[in-house]
Amino acid sequence: MNKFKLLIVSISLILASGIASAASVSANATLQSDYTWRGMTQNNGDASINGGLDVEFDSGFYVGTWAAAVGSGAEVDYYGGLAGEMGNISYDIGYIKFDYPALTGTDNVDFEEAYLGLGIGDFGFSFASGQDSASDNIEISYGFGDFGFAYGEYDDTGDYFYLTYGFELGDFALTVGYTEFDDDPDTAAMTADEDAFFLDITLL
C-alpha cells in the first residue's frame, strides 16, 4: 500500500473512531454548457448537469462524492483528504477515484489520483499523481478579482489553459470562460486539439 492510500485509510479510521468531532454537510449542483476537464470536453461538447455531497470536519478532514452526466452514462468521483492553513499557505492533500460505472469492464477507463494543492495569496499550485499507469498532472493558477487563469500540463496527453470570469446573480453563481487544449503529438493518447467557450451555473 503506497503512502497516499495509507493516508486515506488512516483518515477513514480516525473518522470512524469518533476522534473527529463536529461535522458539516454541504451539497452542490451545477449546470454546464460543456463539461470540460483539463481542457478536454467530457460530454462531447453537450450540456451536462452535475452535483456532489461533502462532509467536512472541524479537524480539516473531509470526504465526498461527485457525479456528472457523461455521454450516455455518468462519471462518479469519490474522494477524501485533509485541508487547512499553515500561516499564509493553504493546503489540500487527498486521494480521488474517477469511476465510470456505465463502462464497467472496459480497460483503462476508471483511474485514481493522489493530489496536493497549495495556495499563497492569489496564486495556486496543484499536483496530481496518477496511480498505476495513470498520468500525472501539474497546474498553476492565478486569480485577480473575479477573473481567473490556470495553466496545466497533463503528462503523455497535452497541455491546457483556462480563462474565467465569475459572478453571482440572485441564488446562482455563474462562471463564463474559455479553455484550450493542445494535444501532445508524440504520445499514443487518443486526444486532439480542442477549444471551447462555456457557461457554468451553480445553485448557491
Residue type, 86: M
Query: Is a pLDDT exceeding 90 seen at residue 128?
Result: yes
What secondary structure letter does DSSP report for 58? T
Higher per-residue confidence, 90 vs 13? 90
pLDDT band at 145 (very low <50, low <70, confident <90, very high): very high
CA distance linking residue 146 with residue 173, whole number of Å? 12
Q: What is the pLDDT of residues 14-39, one digit of tens each?
A: 555 554 457 899 999 999 999 999 99
User: 141: how many CB neighbours lie within 10 A of its CB?
Assistant: 19
- pLDDT at residue 50 in the model: 96
Q: In sequence order, what are the residues at sequence separation of 6 or more whose Cβ sits closer than 8 angstroms to the Cβ of residue 36?
A: 42, 179, 196, 198
Contacts 24+ apart (CB under 8 A), 98-101: 99/75, 100/70, 100/73, 100/74, 100/75, 100/76, 101/73, 101/74, 101/76
Please state the domain extents for the chain: 3-203
- pLDDT at residue 14 in the model: 57
pTM of the model: 0.87
Q: What is the pLDDT of residues 149-160, one digit of tens each?
A: 999 999 999 999
Q: Any idea which architecture 3-203 has in CATH?
A: Beta Barrel (2.40)
